[in-house]
Structure formats: structure tokens, C-alpha cells
């Protein structure tokens, strides 16, 4: 199956689409010449086999014929996002919209413009697809905000956050946003091998705070099918971002995306507490050492006194190793809470972090892969709907 189905006789435009998709969006591009589709049934049969997310009616198609095809496809495959490449007049564009075309672009558009068009079309497909499933519809209406926290630094919060986001991207393609709230020294950009043009500061400033469509323009797409909103490159810019602005930002994103994953800085800062207030789920990360465990216990006690616990919490034991002199039972006794997921110390995980390719993106065979998948599964609506399944289970190292 192909994610993008392109109908065009223009080889140059076909190359532009392939480059645009390869630069930011996972999935194959299948190109078909218009003359091979003599009847609408030919296209419908192809759509039934390929099940694409986006149908691109490209240059080389007769305008009237493109509209007739679009009308038929809109009835038979209403979830498919259709885009038209045409330089016709505004009246024709209006007719195209009435036929079910979602977007129209000039044939001379460059690669960034085509990429943006495809991103919008994929997001529209994901939104329509979610509303078909009752669980997905509920999730869209009440998007999960998953915060990753730890009072101590160096316990692998960002590694956990990026892998959770990438894993969730496979459940909801283009429906996940990873927000880096370690505003001074955030590593989400490096962990995802991104060079973002915009940051959290842009997303909370100006018209983005009032208009969600403007906000979406500041999100950076990642090849795994998620979006990222990275920390400012200049640590001094963190002082220009208030806790109130972050609360508004997370509410905006939750209204648009089923999953918002928040990577926080170490400690219980004003920004972290503002994020925690918006979270439906909190992932508490600790290393397998006494300072990390005691620090987390102190942090949990402080949050308990402030009554700042989200609806669901998930304790993750990172760098798990049976030779450290601590057992899971020791850690649980200190925390006063069960450990839900243990992620073993892994050479592959360290290598993936240094490469900027999360372990779950490449599905590398590694002891940590299965455990990270287990953590991601806890946010799958089907898993959460199984009331007989216990939320907290004893882990074994």
C-alpha cells in the first residue's frame, strides 16, 4: 500500500512530490499516468487496493475530468484527502472544493510548498480516521497530555519522551506533538535529529496564542509521523516564556491532537508545575541509584501536598540493572508506589540517542525495545478500555 497516490503525466512534478515526501513524511508515493485510468471505476479499484491517505490530482489531467473523479472518490472514499494541482481561476477552485477537493496548489510550486500541502492533507486524513472509531473520537475530544518528569537530571527523561512520542505516532500518525519544556537546555531537537526553524517561544507569542492554525505552522514535522515543538536555541529566551503561556499552549494542542507528550526539565520548576496541571498522565522517571530514587520520593511528597497528581501515573525505572545493589522492591518501598515499567541498561538505546534516531523509530532489536513498547501501550485507548487489566504490575529486571 502507498500513502500517497499521484495521478500525473508530468515527470518533473512527480519528482517534486517524491522529494517533498521523502524530506519529512514517511510512506511511499505511487504515481499513475492519467491515460491508465480510462474509467472512474479504474481509480476506485486502485484506491480500494492501495488505501492511500492522500490522492493528488496532478498536472496533465483535464480539469473537468479531475472534478468528476473527485466527486466520485468523495462519495466512495470520504476519508481520503484529495488535493488538486491546477492554476485555474478562483471560480474553478470553488467548484473543486464543492467536489471534495481539500486543497489546491499551483503546478510551479516548490518542494517546501508541496511538503506543507502533503502535511496538511495527512493531518486531515488522520483527523477523519479518528472520528470513525468511538475510542478515537473520545481521544480527539479529550486529548491525552503525557508529561515526563523527574526531579533529578540525567535519568533519561528525553530518551523516554522521544520514544513514547514516536511509538504513539504509529497509533495515531500525524496525531502526536512532542513539546520540549526543558526551555534552557532541551535536547528533543538533537534526540530527533531536527534543526527546527521555530521554537516554543514562537508558539506562545503573537497570533499563535489566539489562532491554532498559526500555531500549527510553528510545529516541526519528523519522519516518524509526529510533530515536535522544540526548546529555544538561546537559553536566555526561556525567561520570556511564562507558566500561563505554557498552559494556554498545551490547551490549544490538546484540542487539536489526540496525544501531546511533554518533556520537562529537571526539578519542579514553575514551567514543570504549569505543565503538570494540564497533564492527564504523568511518567515519573528514576534511575537505579539512591539519589534518583530519593529525589523522586521527595518530589512526589511535595506534589502530594500540593494535590497536583494527574489522573494516571506511570513509574518508569530507567537504566535497570540487577547488579547495582538495589532491587525493584527496595525502590518501590522508598517511593511508596509500584514500578510500572523497567527499561534495562542498553547499549542500543545509547547508540540510538547519539544518532538522533529513537529506538522505536527503527524498531531495533534490543532488550529496551520491548519495554518501551509496553510503556507506549499504556496510552492505547484499547488497552486502557480493558478494565480487567491492572494498571500497575510487578516488574522483573
What whole-number percentage of the chain has pLDDT above 70? 91
Are 49 and 76 in the same domain? yes
CA distances from 327 to 257, 284, 290, 293 (A): 38, 18, 11, 12
Burial label for 300, CB within 10 Å (0-12, 13-18, 19+), is: buried
Q: Are 286 and 156 in contact (CB under 8 A)?
A: no
Residue at a domain's end among 131, 156, 171: 131
Residues 99 and 154 both lie in one domain:
no
Pair 169, 225: CB distance under 8 Å = yes
Residue 230 domain-assigned (yes or no) = yes
Cα atoms in the 13 Å half-sphere on the side-chain side of 219: 28
Using only the alpha carbons of the chain, give its radius of gyration.
23
| Ramachandran assignment for 156, one of left (phi > 0), alpha (psi -120 to 50 degrees), beta (any other) | left
Could you tell me if 261 and 302 lie in one domain?
yes
Q: Are residues 275 and 208 in the same domain?
A: yes
Using the 3D structure, point to which of 131, 162, 185 is the last residue of a domain: 131
Partnered with residue 314 across adjacent β-strands are 283
Q: Looking at the domain assignment, is residue 292 inside a domain?
A: yes
Range 23-29 average pLDDT:
75
End-to-end Cα spacing for the chain: 39
Which has the closest alpha carbon to 117: 179, 204, 58? 58
Judge whether 292 and 317 are in contact, CB under 8 Å: no
Does residue 211 form part of some domain? yes
**Residue 159 within a domain:** yes
* Predicted local confidence at residue 23, as pLDDT: 61
Q: Which of 156-165, 230-239, 358-367 has the lowest mean pLDDT?
A: 358-367
Report the pLDDT averaged over residues 205-233. 84
Question: Do 165 and 300 lie in a common domain?
Answer: yes
Sign of the four-CA dihedral 76, 81, 84, 89: positive
Mark which of 79, 98, 131 sits at the end of a domain.
131
Residue 137 pLDDT: 39
pLDDT digits (tens, 9 = 90+) for 284-323: 998 888 988 888 888 888 888 777 777 788 998 888 877 7
Which of 154, 140, 149 is CA-nearest to residue 313? 149
The answer to whether residue 137 sits within a structural domain is no
Residue 46 CB contacts under 8 Å (≥ 6 apart), including other chains: 5, 32, 37
**In this structure, is residue 157 part of a structural domain?**
yes
Whether pLDDT at 65 is above 90: no
Given phi > 0 = left and psi -120 to 50 = alpha, else beta, which region is 222? beta
Which CATH number covers residue 212?
A: 3.40.50.300
For the chain, the maximum distance between any two Cα atoms, rounded to a whole number of angstroms, is 74
Task: Name the average pLDDT for the chain.
Answer: 83
Q: What is the CATH number of the domain that holds 58?
A: 3.40.50.2300
Predicted confidence band of residue 270 (pLDDT cuts 50, 70, 90): confident
Distance CA 167, CA 178 (A): 12
Task: Judge if 88 and 152 occupy the same domain.
Answer: no
Q: Is residue 138 part of a domain?
A: no
Q: For residue 129, what pLDDT is reported?
A: 58
The count of structural domains within the chain is: 2
Is residue 346 over pLDDT 70? yes
pLDDT of residue 207: 80
Same domain, 36 and 166: no
Same structural domain, 118 and 177? no
99 & 212 share domain: no
Query: Could you report the per-residue pLDDT of 162-204, keeping only the tens digit for each?
Result: 999 999 998 888 889 999 999 888 889 999 998 888 889 988 8
Whether residue 160 sits in one domain with residue 124: no
* pLDDT over 90, % of the chain: 18
The pLDDT of residue 39 is: 75
Q: Judge residue 49's burial from the number of C-beta atoms within 10 Å of its C-beta, 0-12 exposed, 13-18 middle, 19 or more buried.
A: exposed
How far apart are the C-alpha atoms of 86 and 92, rounded to whole Å? 9
Query: Is residue 136 one of the residues assigned to a domain?
Result: no
Q: Give the structural domain span for 123.
A: 2-131
Are residue 322 and residue 199 in the same domain, yes or no?
yes
Same domain, 32 and 173: no
Residue with cell 493528488: 56
Amino acid at each position: 500500500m502507498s500513502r500517497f497516490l499521484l495521478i500525473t503525466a508530468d515527470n518533473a512534478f512527480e519528482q517534486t512530490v517524491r522529494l517533498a515526501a521523502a524530506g519529512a513524511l514517511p510512506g511511499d508515493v505511487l504515481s499513475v499516468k492519467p491515460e491508465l485510468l480510462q474509467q472512474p471505476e479504474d481509480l476506485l479499484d486502485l484506491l480500494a487496493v492501495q488505501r492511500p491517505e492522500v490522492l493528488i490530482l496532478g498536472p496533465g489531467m483535464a480539469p473537468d475530468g479531475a472534478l468528476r473523479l473527485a466527486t466520485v472518490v468523495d462519495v466512495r472514499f470520504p476519508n481520503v484527502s484529495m488535493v488538486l494541482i491546477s492554476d485555474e481561476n478562483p471560480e474553478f477552485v470553488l467548484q473543486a472544493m464543492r467536489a471534495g477537493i481539500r486543497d489546491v496548489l499551483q503546478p510551479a510550486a516548490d518542494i517546501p510548498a508541496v511538503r506543507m500541502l502533503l502535511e496538511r492533507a495527512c493531518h486531515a486524513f488522520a483527523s477523519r480516521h479518528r472520528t470513525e472509531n468511538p475510542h478515537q473520537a473520545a481521544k480527539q475530544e479529550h486529548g491525552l497530555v503525557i508529561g515526563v518528569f523527574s526531579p533529578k537530571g540525567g535519568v533519561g527523561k528525553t530518551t523516554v519522551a522521544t520514544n513514547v512520542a514516536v511509538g504513539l505516532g504509529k497509533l495515531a500518525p500525524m496525531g502526536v506533538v512532542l513539546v520540549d519544556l526543558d526551555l534552557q537546555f532541551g535536547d528533543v531537537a538533537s534526540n530527533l535529529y531536527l534543526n527546527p526553524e521555530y521554537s516554543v517561544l514562537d508558539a506562545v507569542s503573537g497570533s499563535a496564542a489566539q489562532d491554532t492554525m498559526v500555531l500549527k505552522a510553528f510545529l516541526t514535522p519528523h519522519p516518524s509521523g509526529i510533530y515536535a515543538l522544540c526548546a529555544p536555541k538561546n537559553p536566555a529566551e526561556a525567561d520570556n516564556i511564562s507558566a500561563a503561556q505554557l498552559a494556554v499552549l498545551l490547551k490549544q494542542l490538546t484540542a487539536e491532537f489526540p496525544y501531546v507528550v511533554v518533556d520537562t526539565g529537571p526539578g519542579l520548576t514553575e514551567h514543570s508545575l504549569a505543565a503538570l496541571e494540564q497533564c492527564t498522565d504523568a511518567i515519573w522517571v528514576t534511575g537505579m541509584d539512591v539519589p534518583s530514587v530519593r529525589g523522586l520520593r521527595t518530589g512526589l511528597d511535595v506534589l502530594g501536598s500540593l494535590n497536583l497528581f494527574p489522573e494516571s501515573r506511570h513509574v518508569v525505572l530507567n537504566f535497570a540493572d540487577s547488579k547495582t545493589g538495589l532491587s525493584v522492591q527496595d525502590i518501590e518501598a522508598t517511593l511508596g508506589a509500584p514500578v510500572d515499567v523497567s527499561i534495562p541498561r542498553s547499549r542500543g538505546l545509547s547508540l540510538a540517542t547519539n544518532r538522533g534516531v529513537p529506538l522505536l523509530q527503527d524498531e531495533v532489536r534490543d532488550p529496551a525495545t520491548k519495554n518501551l513498547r509496553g510503556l507506549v501501550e499504556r496510552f492505547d485507548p484499547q488497552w486502557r478500555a480493558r478494565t480487567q487489566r491492572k494498571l500497575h504490575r510487578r516488574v522483573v529486571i
